[in-house]
């Protein structure tokens, strides 16, 4: 069995600890398919691309891998006619995104399950659906290096 489940669970746990008011969205790959209730203060963890990094030196059955995880945060954006409210909503989402990044970087081995975790990049704040402007989202990418046992 792969280490991916343990790594994924640890990322989710870090997010839940950093953002206790958020709930996990069921669909990490098509955010707009989640219900409005899930999107008010929601998060998802998507499993992204995998790259081989080669065998561990001297270890023929251990292989080093690098995988990207995408963390999406969504917030209600129902104050769109009020400039102060809009700014507050945007700053709140940016602060929440930083709280997740901080939590993950402080647990950069994810409890000893990976050799390294790095913040890769962030999307900035965008509308989930520009036509309705009801929800705003932010997507951050993190790269983890970990080893798998091949036997």
Residue 89 has pLDDT above 60, yes or no: yes
Instruction: Give residue 101's pLDDT.
Output: 98
pLDDT in tens, 19-67: 999 999 999 999 999 999 999 999 999 999 999 887 666 556 778 899 9
Instruction: Give residue 132's pLDDT.
Output: 86
Sorted by where each begins, the domain ranges of the chain are 4-149
Across the chain, the runs of DSSP E, i.e. the strands, are 23-24, 41-55, 62-76, 116-127, 135-149
In CATH, the number for domain 4-149 is 3.30.2000.10
Share of the chain above pLDDT 90, in %: 74
Task: Note the helical H segments in the chain.
Answer: 4-18, 36-40, 83-106
Please identify which residue in the block is written with the tokens 């023929």.
60
Instruction: Give residue 58's pLDDT.
Output: 59
CB of 100 closer than 8 Å to CB of 35:
no
Average pLDDT, the chain: 91
Task: Report yes or no on whether pTM surpasses 0.85.
Answer: yes
Mean pLDDT confidence for 113-123: 94
Residue 79 has pLDDT above 70, yes or no: no
List beta partners, residue 17.
Answer: none
Which residue in 70, 58, 53 sits closest to 148, CA to CA? 53
């Amino acid at each position: 069995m792969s280490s991916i489940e343990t790594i994924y669970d640890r990322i989710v746990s870090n997010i839940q600890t950093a953002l206790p008011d958020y709930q996990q969205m069921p669909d990490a790959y098509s955010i707009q398919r989640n219900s409005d209730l899930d999107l008010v203060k929601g998060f998802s963890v998507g499993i992204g691309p995998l790259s081989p990094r080669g065998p561990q030196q001297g270890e023929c059955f251990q292989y080093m891998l690098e995988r990207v995880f995408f963390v999406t945060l969504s917030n209600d954006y129902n104050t769109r006619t009020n400039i102060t409210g809009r700014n507050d909503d945007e700053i709140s989402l940016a602060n929440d995104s930083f709280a997740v990044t901080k939590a993950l970087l402080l647990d950069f081995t994810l409890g000893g399950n990976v050799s390294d975790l790095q913040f890769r990049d962030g999307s900035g704040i965008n509308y989930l659906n520009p036509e309705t402007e009801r929800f705003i989202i932010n997507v951050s990418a993190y790269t983890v290096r970990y080893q798998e046992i091949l036997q």
